[in-house]
Structure 1
Amino acid sequence: MHELAVIDDPAAAGVSLDPVRARLLAELAEPGSASSLAAKVGLPRQKINYHLRTLEHHGLVELVEERRKGNMTERILQATASSYVISPAALGAVAPDPERAPDRLSARWLIAVAARTVREVGDLVRGATTAGKRLATFTIDGEVRFASASDRAAFAEELANAVTALVSKYHDETAPGGRPHRVVVAVHPSARTDDPARADTTREQTT
């Protein structure tokens, strides 16, 4: 079972969003059968079997074992991943595209860039998994508390200059066998419901 799987098929995305099937996927983080799931979810085994067949058809669960019980064979299934994320590719033509409005100060552009990251890295992960290779990535996730809006602006400018300098230093357009890598840097207010300044943060996000 993978730690995370990216769903890019529209039909599979719709299947995963069904509340009952989403519950079954969560329960199947550990192997289980229709009978064991029926007791946990509170639905007849026949209905559980129907949902399991649908999930299996779309590659969201897989058979791990078959057990003989008298004249019956009990199928033991497990989710193919412990968690899932739906790729914007599942939305087809209406998926967000950063090229439509390249405004680096726009919150909507940030979301479009993040959506592109999910789509592209999801494709790369599938390819690496099929090839039995590890995908080389690097992520920084941190938090900084600014004393003022002017400090935030100064930070953004300094960060942009530092990243631009690094890209210029290491980018080699003519390197034989070189492989392009995408660099994404984003700064946005932290979303915390217990933050007394949340009202100000919400206003800041919508401007």
Structure 2
Amino acid sequence: MAQEQLETYVVESPEQAMALLNPLRAEILSRLMEPASAAEVARGINEIPQRVNYHLKALEKVGLVRRVGSRQVRNLVEVLYLAIARTYVLSEGLNWAGNTVQQMKDQGSLSHLVHTAERIKRDALLLMERSDQQEEIPSATLDTRIQLASAEQRSAFVEEYVQLVNQLVEKYQTAAEGQETYQVVLAVYPKEGGEEG
């Protein structure tokens, strides 16, 4: 079947970097830690298969995903894709000015924030429909503010937050069949008019 998936891949080409900074493509890549078809990925992110297929082809073209097989589903043959790596690092060799790379990352993060907010809204509306039928839908929301003195402090905060969440996930993760899967999202962005308490 496929070549082995890399743990980390250093992104050396601008085309790959631009693909990674597209929030939907980054989301699709994150769903390809195991081989999956466009239809499976589309179901996982509440997108239409045609749109996912378009972005998969673009990711394949720049070498960030590869075809690893196919399978027959009724009268269709589904192509299975796999991300070439689990994590990606932008190479210094891209020769982009540091502020350009940071700006691209920031803009990519903002686009991802909009995409994530839309996905949460879609998911919440579907869950509200289920709750209208007297089905109990357990959920939780955390909304807080923090004052961070610098970009370095913001990065350190996010990094530590991710580590703590990963520890919690490992502690409570279950492999039991039929268990509910929960989505966990963190967004960090400047509060508009944010100098106020």
* TM class, shorter-length: 0.3 to 0.5
TM-score, normalised with respect to structure 2: 0.47
Flag the structure with larger Rg: 1
- TM-score by structure 1 length? 0.45
